[in-house]
Structures are given as structure tokens and as C-alpha cells.
Copies of this chain bind each other. A is one copy, B any other.
Amino acid sequence: MTGQTGPQQAGRSGGRSTRQRRAVVAELDATDQFRSAQDIHEALRRNGDPVGLATVYRALQTLVDAGEVDIVKTDDGEAVYRQCNPTHHHHLVCRNCGNTVEVTGPTVERWTERVAAEHGFHDVSHTLELFGLCPDCAVREEPGAAT
């Protein structure tokens, strides 16, 4: 052991506690925003903590699998990751600057359950994401806007 953080918390992170794994977790921990694997990969390299792209993907996958990280597919087909929040919620994402607001929707949750039940569907999950222009970006778009 070299003195890092200590190798005791390994069990929960869905795999061995390696420098790379920790780097990825740390990167996710550092922000509330959704990050793409490539984004994280680049940030890590810049941080002087280079980790292979494939390794980033594998670590992310492991974390998602372990339920520690949330994954959402953007409209571009890109996967973005974020430290998991224990409470189920959805996201209001600015399609211009990417700023994200967490929103919880008991209303929606109940609705989906009801609808699923009405149609006899079981084990139903749902994806719900809101995309729009945040206050800042909205004012910047307004002026020249038409239609």
C-alpha cells in the first residue's frame, strides 16, 4: 500500500479498487452534471491521471451495474453518466448549455404505474427526460427568434 485513501472500501464499488477505477469515481464525484465517457476520459488525462478509454467504459459499466451510477442516453445516442442519487428522479436539461436540474415527479410515477397496470404490463420502468432552454439561454435565443 502506498498511502492513497486506503483499500478498504473496495467491495461496494463493484470490483477491485484500482487507481483507474478510483479516478473515474472521483471524476463523477466532482460534479453533479452528466458526463460522457469520452468527456471523463479526457478530463482524467488532463488531470494527469490517464486512464484508457476502454477502461473508462468498463469502469462506468461496472458502476452502473452496481447501481452507483446513473446512465442516460442523450438524443445523440451518446451515453452520459452521473453519480447515482438514491432517490428516483428525472432531469430537466438545457439543450443549449447542458445545465441540468433534477426534478422528482410523484405525479408521474403514479401515472406510469397506473397506465402500466391498466394494460396488464409488469415490471415496468420508464425513461423521462425534459429538454428545453434554461432561463439564461432562453433570453439569448429570444431576440432573433422567429416562428
The interface of chain A, by Cβ under 8 A from chain B, is 73, 75, 77, 79, 92, 94, 101, 103, 105, 107-108, 111-112, 115-116, 119-135, 138
Contacts and interface: CB of A to CB of B under 8 A. Distances in A.
Contact of A133 (B111, B121, B131): B121
Contacts of A138: 120-123
Contacts of A124: 92, 130-133
Contact of A122 (B112, B116, B132): B132
A121 B135 contact: yes
Nearest to A71: B75
A144 to B, nearest CB: 14
A102 to B, nearest CB: 10
B92 A116 contact: yes
A120 B121 CA distance: 35
A32 to B, nearest CB: 15
A124 B90 CA distance: 14
26 contacts: A73-B75, A73-B77, A77-B77, A77-B79, A92-B115, A92-B116, A101-B119, A101-B121, A103-B115, A107-B108, A108-B111, A119-B134, A120-B134, A121-B132, A121-B138, A122-B133, A122-B135, A123-B132, A123-B138, A124-B130, A124-B132, A124-B133, A125-B131, A126-B130, A127-B128, A127-B129
